[in-house]
Amino acid sequence: MSTRNDRPDVFLNAIIGMTGPGVSIGLTLTIKGIVVTGTLVSQERYFEQVKQDLREGFERAFQEGAEGLLASIGKFGEIPNLDFSRGIKESG
């Protein structure tokens, strides 16, 4: 038997579908009584920011030699059709 929390959140999935290059959406969710606030960004922008943050950390730590790893991490944002929506459920 399906409960409300077992069904995908159609509205949230629609908002996720609106993200793309250059689009970010402020979002606040209540999940089992916990408030989560942030900015929803595209997959490409997320991995670009991860790459930039790692670059800065590696440059401080090693001063050189991080380019190969950073180039590989940056390619994650280019993977087509990553679908995270299956794990998104309505909050109850």
> What's the DSSP call for residue 22?
T
Instruction: Specify if 57 maps to a domain.
Output: yes
Residue 22 placed within a domain: yes
pTM of the model: 0.53
d(CA 88, CA 55): 31
Q: What's the structural domain count of the chain?
A: 1
Q: Which domain holds residue 18?
A: 4-87
> Per the domain annotation, does 11 fall within a domain?
yes
Domain membership flag for residue 26: yes
82 inside domain? yes
Return the residue matching tokens 């999940």.
31
> Shortest CA distance to 65 belongs to which of 54, 76, 50?
54
What is the tens place of the pLDDT at every residue in 23-63?
888 999 988 899 999 999 888 888 889 989 888 887 776 65
Assess if residue 92 is contained within a domain: no
Per the domain annotation, does 79 fall within a domain?
yes
Task: Tell me whether residue 49 is in a domain.
Answer: yes
The reported pLDDT for the residue numbered 92 is 47
